[in-house]
Amino acid sequence: MAEKTSTTEMLRSTGTLAAEQRSPEGEDGGEAQRADIVDFKMVTFSLGGKDYGIDIMKVKEIAKIKSYTYVPNTPHFVRGVYNLRGDIISVLDLRRMFNLPVEEKEEGQPEDGLILRLEENLPFGVIVDRIDRVVGISRERIQPPHPIFADINLKYISGVVEHENRLYIILDVDRILAKEEEAPEASRGTEISALAGGSGTEEPGEARPAATGAAQPSARASETEDPEALTFEFVSETLATFAGFYVSDVNKAWMERRFGEWVRERQESGQDTQLSSAEDAAQYLRDFYSPHTGAFWPEAYGEEFRKLLPSDEPRGYTVWNPGCAKGFETYSLACILRSQFPEARLKIWAHDNDLLSVSTAPNLVVPLQGVPELHRKHMVAGKNGYAFSQEIQDLILFEYHDITSTNAIPEVDLIVARDVLSFLPVQQQQALLSEFSERLKEGGILVIGKNEELPGDEWKAVELKDIRAYRLKDAGG
């Protein structure tokens, strides 16, 4: 049975702890003094040698868990059920869940665990390596997670915080357990539709834990025991891990079609349908990308694209091209616009958050071979190949920029964001979409990936071959 320590007791003891930590001593004085207001307390513990924290408000109690009952036919990270003073609760092992090394304990030894209390769900037990203590910090110091914490799926992390020279990774338990927990009967099916709902209201870039299930395709698995649905969910999850591709309403149609194909393809060749590496994920996404990704657009595609542009030459025409990568598509866009509107004031804001790619963009030099005709007249010969003329260069502003941060660009006539949305976490997809509609002038055009589509009725689809474009409906209509 459990030897429990009540959390209130822990809380009380940390009152003094936090006060001590605030005293300005130690050589790194400046760092410690910044723990000004303690408005966030977390229970810290270690998993596979790293420090983690969970919001104390989610923790019902801290327990030494021993003698739980093994339950057959459960995922490997379920350790069994446990009798918590008469209530039967399930116990998960976070280390197994995140595929971290598990310290072997002797038979019958109690293990450190936390009993978590989540809204809607029954209490849950989780087993960790070692409970450390309760740490009080200021919410302001919590920083968004960084991709280096790759050993745990980024979406389970609500932030990181440094405290007394230790880095704590704060886990978002709502998300972790929302995935495992059987959804309650009543909320079935409502979760996916929540995804589609209109404009996101939260600030972009703000690291906020998602509401239970609102953003994840997780409802799928709980809907049914069907192994196919489970595989689908697994594939969706692994796409996020290996390729940063997030399944949402934007790409659901493609995803469902592709999944059927994929299963057939793999079964015919006798391979596992699940994705086990980045190569598998790339293979899966093979035909997701829009035509001519990362390359100049050939004439035919350019001609189709021109149909999106206004027939009368405007005085000024501004374009936003997030996810410009090495700039090939941006240059194509510039050449098309210049030939369509020879006199207009043109400006293209091209952004990417990959520093290496976008750094090469302003000085792009290519061999002339294979360059479409339209581009050639804007190119000048240099030492190592052909580069674009100053006239074209001046139209484009390449910036190293993360679109999930504040976007300081003016109102634009056209947004070209092919295959950008699908590579953002679902919450950010929504935030970015509402940002798109804010930044577009009335009647402006948004171009997204060929295999993406927009939910909601704010946007009116434009029928074109190979190009998926939408017109922002006028505010009045």
Which residues contact other proteins by CB under 8 A?
Answer: 24, 27-31, 33-34, 36, 140-141, 143-144, 146, 205-206, 353, 355, 358-359, 361-362, 397-402, 405-406, 408-410
Amino acid identity for residue 472 in this structure: L
* Least distance between other proteins and beta carbon 427 (Å): 16
* Least distance between other proteins and beta carbon 335 (Å): 20
Pick 125 or 323: Cβ nearer other proteins: 323
Pick 213 or 323: Cβ nearer other proteins: 323
* Least distance between other proteins and beta carbon 392 (Å): 16
Pick 36 or 272: Cβ nearer other proteins: 36
Pick 267 or 406: Cβ nearer other proteins: 406
Pick 255 or 358: Cβ nearer other proteins: 358
Pick 51 or 399: Cβ nearer other proteins: 399
Angle at 428 between CA 426 and CA 434, to 5 degrees: 110
* Least distance between other proteins and beta carbon 277 (Å): 25
* Least distance between other proteins and beta carbon 33 (Å): 4
* Least distance between other proteins and beta carbon 191 (Å): 29
* Least distance between other proteins and beta carbon 322 (Å): 13
Pick 140 or 228: Cβ nearer other proteins: 140
